[in-house]
Structure 1
Amino acid sequence: MEKTAQIPLKQLLICGSLIVTLSMGIRHGFGLWQLPIITANGWSRETFSFAIAFQNLSWGFLGIFMGMMADRFGAYKVLCIGALAYCLGLLGMAYSTQPISFLLTTGLLIGLAQAGTTYAIVYGVLGRNVSSDKRSWAMGIIAAAGSFGQFFMVPVENVLIDWFNWQNALVICAILSLLIIVLGMGLREPSREIVGHQTEQSILHALQEAFTYPSFILLVLGYFTCGFQVVFIGVHLPSYIKDFGLPPHVGSIALALIGLFNIFGTYAVGVLGQKYQKRFLLMGIYTLRAIVIIIFISAPLSAMSVYLFAAVMGVLWLSTVPATNAIVAQVFGIRHFSMLSGCVFFSHQVGAFFGVWLGGYLYDKYGSYDLVWYIAIGLSVVSALVHVPMNEGPIKRAAA
């Protein structure tokens, strides 16, 4: 067990929600910068897509180590590192003129920033300060905040691009990212007195335990699909609909609608996760995603069909986050939660890498996104199936 002075719940939810709102909100609008950046620099879509893909891969890989640091040294130090990396990465994104510098700033630095400022870090504090009977609900609140950030920040970023040009808009976002340092002060935890055999588990033993537990492997595999789908859609949907002759504002409205409706989806899954098995919720989410994508690419494309797709997909967008993370905490406990959550999220980001990169690569090769949509449908079916045999009960450990 772990004895700790608790952060007040209201303070935790407010500060954690605002941090995720900023961090997730800024990145959700990156698709709006694709065409301005490649036009200004004379790049292909694959160049931009590969940098965003590498960003997601960096986010996932570095998230494991940022989670270790947060578990060991506290979340606030990690949040400060992440905020500074976010600021520098966004400035690099604005002024890079060579693909390699764009890759190192937009890809590596912003990937590090997201690893240190998003769900795994905030959820680690939440897990240590919120009782298990409220944990899924609280995770739903934080995930809904990330959704609100997507809804709020996308139109704001679109306005900034229109008013100040795309480079200055990125500079403004870089300055906004530093607010995470101030908000992070609300998540500083008092020193903890750790007792009991469960908390003495080493990092290596925790990793060995997780990766030899079949249900953890299934959870990791299922999360790959989520990353593939949401990042492909988030980055390439504005370009996809513009290719069909629809005006650019349709894409920005669609991304905002995804964020708006995801507020309801993530909160609902957080609440339902307190009453029902979370694996069943995840099965339903992936099944519905496949159905929605099939309908969207089969129907005639119009502004209304895009908005309907965005609204329904928004309900399913980040609703996997509270359910997946709650399973990790429920199975393994909270001692190494940020690290293990980072391990699961790495699979998500590997999926994100392939989703955004294949989107650009296959478009440049075939002049169409059709094949990527088909892959997204197939992955949904696979992910729904892998959750069937999952055991989400607490793991049984031998006494010390």
Structure 2
Amino acid sequence: MSIQTGDLGTASPTQSWRTPLVIIVCGCAIALLSFGPRSSLGFFVQPMSREFAWGRDVFALAVAVQNLLWGLGQPLAGAIADRFGVMRVICVGALLYAGGLLMMRYSTTPLSLNVGAGVLVGFGLSGCSFNLILSAFSKLLPPERRGLALGAGTAAGSLGQFLFAPFGVALIDQFGWQSALMVFATLMLFIVPLSSAVATPPAAEAKPSEAEQQSFTTALMEAFGHRSYVLLVLGFFTCGFQLAFITVHLPAFLVDRGLSAQTGGWVIAAIGLFNIIGSLSVGWLQSRLPKRYILSFIYFTRALATLAFISFPVTPATAIAFGAVSGLAWLSTVPPTSSLVAIMFGTRWLATLYGFAFVSHQVGGFLGVWLGGIVFERYGSYTPIWWLSILFGVLSALINLPIVEKPVARAVPAT
């Protein structure tokens, strides 16, 4: 099957190369590159804090701002992508991402760190992360390939985490944190040429029956007046809280327990590796099981894994085991969440509506990172945040159960 529409409208013979396989491979490559450096930022906490005599709360605030702006920028990026096409948004996002990492490398004050690692990387991620890739997959691929493609796109982000975690630790150890950030910034530029493969048509060039289905305002009013969508958004908060806290603070937590930085790198890598399995499995399962049950099971599994992790002595074996179990449930919430949005409201405003759900995810991420730094500086321990993470996991497991998995009822216009 060849793709019939692209960012410039009807496909020409030169666009026949955009087969479903090419779209999936290039989209997964973008997800891998964009998620890798972001998931490795926790390894820069200690070297940068030592060099500039910062507390962990300083670095935590910068990454918290990044998470928040990533979320707040997602609906805007999604709306622009839905109206003008995905490729433009991804290119701008990649350039902002690279610029943020470059500014982070030259940061000598908390303010410059917040602007680079926080503002620029945050808005950059909103434009080139796997969220827009999943939206492009939903619009460009035939229905029978979407489920597995969504799982593959999410798994690619995890593969980035698996590869970049030990890669980042090795770069820091061998060449210093400054050189590591320079390498990361350079790699982000490869996203620009890859984005041509996932280009989607502007709204004006879409099929009239689809483009005229809803206005932007009507779509938002419909979504936020829909009980199942609101429950989905609330549950997604926990996903962001848990992921951001673990990504940023787990490496330092393990060092505090006497483990090496390399162990932290392998734990984060294990999360990424096992999430490949989890995301692909969920991508396959979501066409066979109710998605609300899958989400509920994932959140409850996270809560149990965290409870077990903090209840036993922390060793390299238990840390890697925690990473493996957490990885199975790491980003596997994303395929069923995006699929539920598409089921409820269709694909016309999918990037926008998933973007608003992602705001909730990133508000949770902001609080997870920021509160982790604040609590540690005040009490010298992350224990309160671990227990808060367990509580949120249980609540989200319950919140997702009443979700109704069917299209929203719409009035049929009179002929």
Q: Under TM normalisation by the shorter chain, which class is it?
A: over 0.9
Counterpart in the other structure of 2:237 = 224
Give the drift of 1:253: 0.6
Question: Deviations for 1:33-68, whole angstroms, at most 9, x for unmatched residues?
Answer: 010111111111001001100100000000110001
Contact 2:63/2:118, CA 8 A, preserved across alignment: yes
Structure 2 residue 293 is the aligned partner of structure 1 residue 300: no
SS in 1 for 2:209: coil
Structure 2 residue 133 is the aligned partner of structure 1 residue 133: no
- Aligned letter for 1:166? W
Structure 2 residue 73 is the aligned partner of structure 1 residue 73: no
- Aligned letter for 1:67? G
Give the distance between the partners of 2:198 and 2:138, measured in 1 at CA: 12
Counterpart in the other structure of 1:330 = 343
SS in 1 for 2:406: coil
Match of 1:109 among 120, 138, 162: 120
Question: Deviations for 1:239-298, whole angstroms, at most 9, x for unmatched residues?
Answer: 001111111111001000000000000000000001111100000001111111111000
Contact 2:139/2:200, CA 8 A, preserved across alignment: no
Structure 2 residue 39 is the aligned partner of structure 1 residue 28: yes
Give the drift of 1:159: 1.4
Task: Name segments (4+ residues, structure 1) moved above 6 Å.
Answer: none
Counterpart in the other structure of 1:44 = 55
Match of 1:352 among 348, 358, 365: 365
Match of 1:202 among 200, 215, 232: 215
SS in 2 for 1:371: helix
Counterpart in the other structure of 1:156 = 167
Contact 1:90/1:106, CA 8 A, preserved across alignment: yes
Contact 2:303/2:389, CA 8 A, preserved across alignment: yes
Give the distance between the partners of 1:85 and 1:199, measured in 2 at CA: 33
- Aligned letter for 1:101? S
Give the drift of 1:232: 0.3
Give the distance between the partners of 1:266 and 1:243, measured in 2 at CA: 31
Equivalent positions of 1:1-400 (< 5 A) are: 4=5, 7-189=18-200, 192-196=205-209, 199-400=212-413
- Aligned letter for 2:23? L
Give the distance between the partners of 1:322 and 1:289, measured in 2 at CA: 17
What 5-or-longer segments of structure 1 have no aligned partner? Answer: none
Give the distance between the partners of 1:178 and 1:166, measured in 2 at CA: 19
Give the drift of 1:81: 0.4
Contact 1:140/1:267, CA 8 A, preserved across alignment: yes
Give the distance between the partners of 1:285 and 1:199, measured in 2 at CA: 37
Question: Deviations for 1:323-368, whole angstroms, at most 9, x for unmatched residues?
Answer: 1111111111000000111000010000000001111000011110
Contact 2:85/2:201, CA 8 A, preserved across alignment: no
Give the distance between the partners of 2:92 and 2:277, measured in 1 at CA: 31
Give the drift of 1:197: 6.3
Question: Deviations for 1:95-148, whole angstroms, at most 9, x for unmatched residues?
Answer: 111111111111010001100111221112111112333322210011111111
SS in 2 for 1:154: helix
Contact 1:328/1:337, CA 8 A, preserved across alignment: yes
Give the distance between the partners of 2:218 and 2:280, measured in 1 at CA: 33
Give the distance between the partners of 1:201 and 1:120, measured in 2 at CA: 22
SS in 1 for 2:176: helix
Question: Deviations for 1:205-242, whole angstroms, at most 9, x for unmatched residues?
Answer: 10010000000000000000000001100110010011
Give the distance between the partners of 1:133 and 1:348, measured in 2 at CA: 28
SS in 2 for 1:291: helix
Give the drift of 1:80: 0.7
Give the drift of 1:164: 1.5
Structure 1 residues 70 and 190, CA, compared in 2 at 3 Å: closer, same or farther? closer
SS in 2 for 1:350: helix
- Aligned letter for 2:82? D
Contact 2:151/2:283, CA 8 A, preserved across alignment: yes
Give the distance between the partners of 2:200 and 2:66, measured in 1 at CA: 29
Give the drift of 1:28: 0.6
- Aligned letter for 2:149? A
Contact 1:137/1:274, CA 8 A, preserved across alignment: no
Aligned residues: 398
TM-score, length of structure 1 as denominator length: 0.97
Give the distance between the partners of 1:15 and 1:59, measured in 2 at CA: 22
Moved more, 122-131 or 74-83: 122-131
Give the distance between the partners of 1:251 and 1:154, measured in 2 at CA: 9
SS in 2 for 1:78: helix
Give the distance between the partners of 1:199 and 1:120, measured in 2 at CA: 24
Q: What is the CA RMSD across the aligned residues, in angstroms?
A: 1.3
Give the distance between the partners of 1:180 and 1:394, measured in 2 at CA: 34
Contact 2:24/2:149, CA 8 A, preserved across alignment: yes
TM-score, length of structure 2 as denominator length: 0.94
Give the drift of 1:200: 3.3
Give the distance between the partners of 1:158 and 1:246, measured in 2 at CA: 14
Give the distance between the partners of 2:285 and 2:212, measured in 1 at CA: 29
Moved more, 389-398 or 280-289: 389-398
Contact 1:199/1:335, CA 8 A, preserved across alignment: no
Contact 1:133/1:274, CA 8 A, preserved across alignment: no
